[in-house]
Structure 1
Amino acid sequence: MILPKEILKKYWGFSEFRPLQEEIITAALEQKDVIALLPTGGGKSICFQIPAIAKEGICLVISPLIALMQDQVESLTQKGIKAISIKSGSTQDEIITLFDNIKFGGTKFLYISPERLQSFFIQQKIKELNINLIAIDEAHCISEWGHDFRPSYRNIKVLRELKPDVNFIALTATANEKVLKDISINLDLKKPQLFKKSFYRENLAYQIFTIEDKLQRLLQIFTKTKVPAIIYVNSRKKTEQIAAFLNANNFKSSFYHGGLSSVEKNIAFENWMTEKTPIIVATNAFGMGIDKANVGLVIHLDIPSSIENYVQETGRAGRNNKKSFAVLLYNKSDALLFKDRLERTLLTIKEIKEIHKKLYQFFQISLGELIEEPFPFNLLEFCKKYNFSVLKVDTALKILSNNGIIEISSHYNKKSTLQFIVNSKTVLNYLDNNPIIKKFTNSILRTYAGLFEQEVNIDEFFIAKKAAITTNLVVSNFERLQKDNIIEYKAVKNEADLTFLLPREDDYTINRFSREMKQFISQKKQKSDDLIQFINNDTICRSIQVLSYFDEIKTEKCGICDVCISENRKSTANLASEIIELLKNKQPLSSSEISESLVANEKDILIHLRQLLTDDKIKINHQNKYQLNL
């Protein structure tokens, strides 16, 4: 057997393991069941990949996210390690071929979703394989108390019957004591060894600032702080807007979101890794496989969805053990928007039943019927047809997927493209001779820029909505223009593939899972409440609050979070005189410039500025700056 450190050096290029990795690998190699709780950046994947490589046979990996599976398969393949996953919508014949290739093709890793384990056919195929280790990634999903409970995870223990002599390793980055206990019980683990790394990060300063002008504060932060940074926002459009704003102010940045093509994602990622653009603005799609040690700053411009997500995302800072910052910029309107969005995504069982039934109707599936082939699915088109809220349908799809009722594979990065392959003069002549398509074509030219220079991503549904015509007519018009050699049109027919895993039984299906669904909705609301409480609690050290949430007891304050700094800051009694002294020694200053110069809370500074104005000790000049009233 090859030694773990030799495998680490050969495939990953490291000479030493991170804390707890070697102990976890040793336990796995000794055929023991293991639970590994390693916060973000702890290197969980290596803990099952190395023992699997060291032994004869195949490692079966259960993972909840298709994108995560694809990412790990690609990463292993690039290292020369054969890994494979069962693609969404694969037919039975394709799966038979795939398992034959696994058996005889030297495959070391098979990644599957927990939903796949519900298939008796898949179970029998797994039984035929020489499995050397079973790894359960994101194991907190097995618990009703986890932040992303998936009832399908409860079916994983069927592998105990299929492979009674194979040991399990369950891995998670976020779990409290209750969740860890659930993992052990529901996986039927045999005297599991628990390896738990503390969530305490002595070098990470959690700092939450209540502020109205977030963009101005961003400029202040990056003027002072010259380290690689991640800025998290909650929409794709916002990633592009914030990156453009920073670049316009001479701070090199790029953006990253789920709607980019693989090439665009790789370029953005590489530019950030090499620090060609040391700042990256991203949605939470930016997370998998990030291992950049010198990230010194993670900023949340929008409220994350839970404390677990917040800790995972901020945990990408300071992996080199140098002081780093987790900054959340927050204001009252954020809280209102957050609560409003939550209300608009929370569903009743009645609403889930209605959306579930309409999905079958949308694809004309009869009661009792099950069609196992994937269907092309356009979320916006479905919502428009039945007048559903996009946010609610999106949540319903997640709930139905988590409960093993459907499987949905997203293809948002695949967009149709369009390019005019003749010059503008030729287009004008063509339209004069084809007036029936003139208005449509002119609308396209007004909507999208650069169509004569390059291929441009387009959205047929958006075009149809804008032109008040059907999507089919949009496609038909493009096909006509292409036939007449005016454009090059590369169509992508769907945003996602949707596969039904259960026959249509309408309310009966949902009733079977209603308890789990209610639990999911209740947990989502509770976790949102916990997060808002954490943000608003400015009396207890942030680090102590985080540790308490994950059932760690620590009474020593971190000394570097916003709460600790506020407590340690000298009394503001002398703040008025400090402001006057500052204005004596400098030219007129804005409130933000005064805040930069003084070690004091911005809110306290503004209060003292107002009082000094009232007392006629200072005044505001025509540039809206403060100066002494001489």
Structure 2
Amino acid sequence: MTDLLPILKHYYGYDAFRPVQEEAMRSVLDGRDTLVLLPTGGGKSLCFQVPTLAREEGVCIVVTPLIALMKDQVEQLKKRGIQAAAIHSGMSRREIDVTLDNCVHGGLRFLYVSPERLRTEIMIERTKLMKVSLLAVDEAHCISAWGYDFRPAYLLIAEFRDLLPGVPIIALTASATADVQADILDKLEMKQPQVFRQSFARANLSYSTFYEENKERKLLQILTNVPGTSIVYVRTRRRAQQVAEWLSRQKIRADYYHAGLPYADRSAKQMAWQRGQTRVVVSTNAFGMGIDKADVRSVVHLDLPASLEAYYQEAGRAGRDGKKAYAVALYNHKDTDDLAQAVERQYPPIQTLRRVYQALANYFKLAVGAGEFTSHSLDMHEFVNTFGLNLSETHYALKLLQEEGFLQLSDAINESSKLHLLVDKQQLYDFQIRYPDYDSFLKMLLRMYGGELFSEYVRISEGEIGRAFYAQLPEVANRLRFLQEREIIDYEKRRDQPQLTFLTPRFDAEHLPLNIFEIENRKDRDLRKVGAVVHYAQHPTQCRTLLLLDYFDERDGQPCGVCDNCLKRQKSATVHEDSDALRQQLVVYLHNNGPISPRALSEAFGKVPEKNLLQVVRKLVEQELVLYDEQGKLTLNAAQLS
């Protein structure tokens, strides 16, 4: 039996496995189809990474829905000395070609792909040539229409499996109800699957919700009372920036983050937070996925999320180190109304979808039947102005068209430029002899970015190259273009706009095969999910952990004892016990000291808060155990006591 612990220690620095991790890894190594349900921070990625590394060779193909997530995971693996790459819609065909060649011949161990890529001809043909050891499906809840982030492209995975006879599949998710789990097993056609599940309960995480009209004031109070790193989630990009700037004025080291920022800015902000230079990140839900930071002490939702699945994942980024942490949701009546209205906005009329799709075809001049897997820069403001569309409605129409599998919008805005050498070392040397003016420039590129330039596309910075070569940006750009024209390099200049990729040949808009019935079903499910969030936030008594466990069909949990409702219940019980004790003391005191004025009684019980004393006295009077005599003094009612 392969000893997995040395691999865990060597590559990841951990001395022991977390619950169910090793069992899931053994299942994979035994060739079993495996479903893993681990809470956020439970170490899902290790469940497919360690068994892949335990084998001497073979590629693990990882299907994941988010470009940002796959890039982050690839970078993390590379930092550990593990060869990994990703394929996504922001890449050119030549770049994809080189990456897939490296999977076949270059010793890559992990290939991350978006689900839409699985049915491309180049992916299918190269997969046939690969030695694939494992197929991993991350965020597996996306395959289920019952899930909170349904992606129709995930339904392609079962068909893709036919290319991999005898290769096991592992599906992983942090949040799945019983319906979603059943859907995952069915849609992935998992055979005699092994299911490993860790409880969704987090003993170290204290959940709380508060009704607040002044949320910023409450947020400041939380950050003052709970020292350490924090994430604050809000609904919009503008609000993220406003709240971060407000916190900075309150002398808290805060920054904002959202998917619309340039890649370099996002990386810098994330790194500053991970290193502790920034204490609080205020973000949309774009922040946190796949980020490995264990010491987050608080996660605050300044706006309620649209589902309990999303809330559980985001809140679960607190306390991954197992130490006490806090997940706080703040809400008011406007929030609960806004959630339902937001769902309505997310589902524009079907005719709007057809109109936007037709406008895209006209904008990019695509004929019916053309355009499959072509990518285009999309200037949203120019697009909506050209066709007289509403910006917000168009945004949601594009999202729905993406969910229906017709197109994909990448978040690769202002991503770094990329460079790849198209020649081998001998051919490069020959070129340097023929063009001596480029000799020092090419040597400098190799010093800066290394031999990886020969085997893959490497992110570069024209500004850094200019500083190293003592040249202005126009000269750097001219030199790179010169090399590209002579096919020495392939230079992918950074794009300043979102990229839209058509995933199918262009349809006639009036006959666009939209699944109208399923769209309506998804809308209804989203409204029910909003109802579950509101129920969770407003519940006055039930343990928050038990509310979450019940939502995820885990029925055998125990009250956590640390959420706001559990603490209220404990405090109420304590106050009740204290009141009973004070009542007995008052009866004894009045029995021994005869009639006494309320002021004298208050002085005699000076250590008891006056409010508590008056409540107990009032209760005794209501029960006629204590009376006021003619002088207004308190005395025992002997008739009642007897």
Same fold per superposition (TM over 0.5):
yes
CA distance in 2: counterparts of 1:11 and 1:140, whole angstroms = 28
Does the residue aligned with 1:85 lie in a helix, a strand or coil? strand
Q: 1:598 to 1:536 in 2, by over 3 A?
A: farther
Aligned mates of 2:269, 2:95 — CA distance in 1: 35
* Distance in 1 of aligned mates of 2:299 and 2:358: 42
The alpha carbon displacement at 1:227 in A equals 2.5
Whether contact under 8 Å (1:349, 1:518) holds in the other structure is no
Contact kept in structure 2, 1:254 and 1:280, CA below 8 Å = yes
Cα deviation, 1:60-104, whole Å, max 9, x if unaligned, reads 111111221111112212222111222426565554443223211
Letter of the 1:393 partner, please give it. T
Equivalent residue runs for 1:249-398 within 5 Å: 249-370=250-371, 372-398=373-399
Q: Distance in 1 between matches of 2:241 and 2:20?
A: 39
Shift of 1:290: 2.5
Instruction: Work out whether 1:37 is the aligned partner of 2:50.
Output: no
Q: Which residue number corresponds to residue 455 of structure 2? A: none
Question: How far apart, in 2, do the equivalents of 1:92 and 1:258 lie?
Answer: 25
When residues 367 and 272 of structure 1 are mapped into structure 2, their CA distance, relative to the original with a 3 A threshold, is: closer
1:188 Cα deviation after fit: 1.1
SS of 2:209's equivalent in the other structure is strand
Describe the SS at the equivalent of 1:553.
coil
The amino acid across from 1:545 in the alignment is L
Displacement of 1:137 in angstroms is 0.7
CA distance in 2, matches of 1:140, 1:218: 32
Q: Distance in 1 between matches of 2:152 and 2:223?
A: 44
Distance 1:108 1:171 in 2: 19
In 1, distance between residues paired with 2:263 and 2:3? 35
2:569 paired with 1:567? yes
Give the 3-state SS of the residue equivalent to 1:342 in structure 2: helix
Aligned residue number for residue 193 of structure 1: 194
The partner residue of 1:541 within 543, 548, 552 is 543
Query: How far is the alpha carbon of 1:306 from its aligned partner?
Result: 1.1
Percent identity of equivalent pairs: 39
Match of 1:528 among 530, 552, 560: 530
Distance in 2 separating the partners of 1:271 and 1:237: 21
Contact 1:301 1:330 in 2 (8 A): yes
- Whether 1:46 and 2:46 are equivalent positions in the alignment is yes
Letter in 2 for 1:296: R
Shift of the alpha carbon at 1:286?
Answer: 1.1
Change over 3 Å in CA distance of 1:90–1:131 after alignment to 2 = same
- Whether the 8 Å CA contact 1:356–1:506 is kept in 2: the answer is no
C-alpha distance in structure 1 between counterparts of 2:282 and 2:94, whole Å: 43
- Superposed displacement of residue 159, structure 1: 2.8
Q: Which amino acid aligns with 1:20?
A: V
Q: Which residue of 2 aligns with 1:558?
A: 560
The one-letter amino acid of 1:43's match is: G
Other-structure match for 2:639: none
Q: Evaluate the alpha carbon distance shift between residue 372 and residue 182 of structure 1 in structure 2; reply closer, same or farther with a 3 A threshold.
A: closer
Q: Given that residues 71 and 288 in structure 1 are in contact (C-alpha distance below 8 angstroms), is that contact kept between their aligned partners in structure 2?
A: no
Secondary structure in 1 matching 2:381:
helix
8 Å CA contact 2:414–2:494 kept in 1: the answer is: no
Q: Per the alignment, do residues 85 and 277 of structure 1 end up closer, same or farther by CA in structure 2, a change over 3 Å counting?
A: closer
Question: In the aligned structure 2, how far is the partner of 1:121 from the partner of 1:250?
Answer: 53
**Separation (CA, whole Å) in 2 of partners of 1:157 and 1:508:** 30
Alpha-carbon distance change, 510 to 307 in structure 1, aligned in 2, over 3 angstroms: farther
Distance 1:498 1:177 in 2: 35
Q: Is the 8 A contact 2:231 2:280 kept in 1?
A: yes
Cα separation, 1, equivalents of 2:80 and 2:349: 46
Name the CA shift for 1:374/1:110 in 2 (closer, same or farther; >3 Å): same
Between 1:247-256 and 1:132-141, the stretch displaced more is 247-256
Please give the per-residue CA displacement for 1:325-358, whole angstroms capped at 9, x wherever unaligned. 1111111222233333332222232222222222
What one-letter code is carried by the residue in structure 1 that aligns with 2:262? S
Measure, in 2, the Cα distance between the counterparts of 1:94 and 1:395: 31
Whole-angstrom CA distance in 2 between matches of 1:70 and 1:512? 31
Letter in 1 for 2:212: I
Q: Which amino acid aligns with 1:513?
A: N
Q: Tell me, what secondary structure is at the counterpart of 1:162?
A: coil
Whole-angstrom distance in 1 between the partners of 2:511 and 2:116: 16
TM-score normalised by length of structure 1: 0.75
Return the letter of the residue paired with 1:556.
Answer: Q
Match of 1:594 in 2: none
- The alpha carbon displacement at 1:413 in A equals 4.6
- Structure 2 SS opposite 1:533: helix
Residues 1:99 and 1:224: Cα distance change in structure 2 (over 3 Å): closer
Going from structure 1 to structure 2, the CA distance change for 1:375 and 1:266 (only over 3 Å counts) comes to closer
The structure-2 alpha-carbon separation of the partners of 1:78 and 1:515, relative to structure 1 and needing over 3 Å to count, comes to farther
- 2: distance between equivalents of 1:130 and 1:278? 44
- Look up the SS of the partner of 2:60 in the other structure: strand
Where do 5+ consecutive residues of structure 1 fail to align? 417-454, 456-478, 480-490, 576-580, 585-596, 601-630
Q: CA RMSD in A?
A: 3.1
Give distance in 1, aligned partners of 2:570 and 2:503.
58
Task: Give the match for residue 241 of structure 2.
Answer: 240
1:511 partner SS:
coil
Question: Cα gap change, 1:508/1:60 in structure 2, threshold over 3 Å: closer, same or farther?
Answer: farther
Give, in whole Å, the separation in 2 of the partners of 1:509 and 1:73: 40
User: What amino acid is the match of 1:497?
Assistant: Q
Give the alignment of 1:92-491 within 5 angstroms: 94-370=95-371, 372-413=373-414
Residues 347 and 521 of structure 1 are in contact (CA less than 8 Å); yes or no, is this contact kept in structure 2? no
CA distance in 2 between partners of 1:233 and 1:316 (Å): 15
What does 1:611-626 correspond to in 2, within 5 Å? none
CA distance in 2 between counterparts of 1:242 and 1:563 reads 28
The Cα of 1:140 is off from its aligned counterpart by 0.8
- In structure 2, distance between residues paired with 1:335 and 1:314: 19
Query: C-alpha separation between the residues in 2 aligned to 1:141 and 1:395?
Result: 19
Query: What is the aligned partner in structure 2 of residue 469 from structure 1?
Result: none
Comparing 341-350 and 74-83, the one that deviates more: 341-350
AA aligned to 1:280 is V
- Given the superposition, is the C-alpha separation of residues 15 and 376 from structure 1 closer, same or farther in structure 2, using an over 3 Å criterion? same
Q: CA deviation at 1:545?
A: 1.1
Are the equivalent residues in 2 in contact too, given 1:89–1:373 (CA < 8 A)?
Answer: no
Contact in 2 for aligned 1:140/1:149 (Cα 8 Å): yes
Deviation at 1:360, TM superposition (A): 0.9
CA distance in 1 between partners of 2:186 and 2:344 (Å): 34
Of the two, which has the highest radius of gyration?
2
Instruction: Give how far 1:370 is off.
Output: 2.7
CA distance in 2, matches of 1:246, 1:24: 43
Distance 1:155 1:14 in 2: 35
Aligned to 2:79: 78
The code of the aligned residue for 2:20 comes to L
Q: Shift in Å at residue 396 of structure 1?
A: 2.4
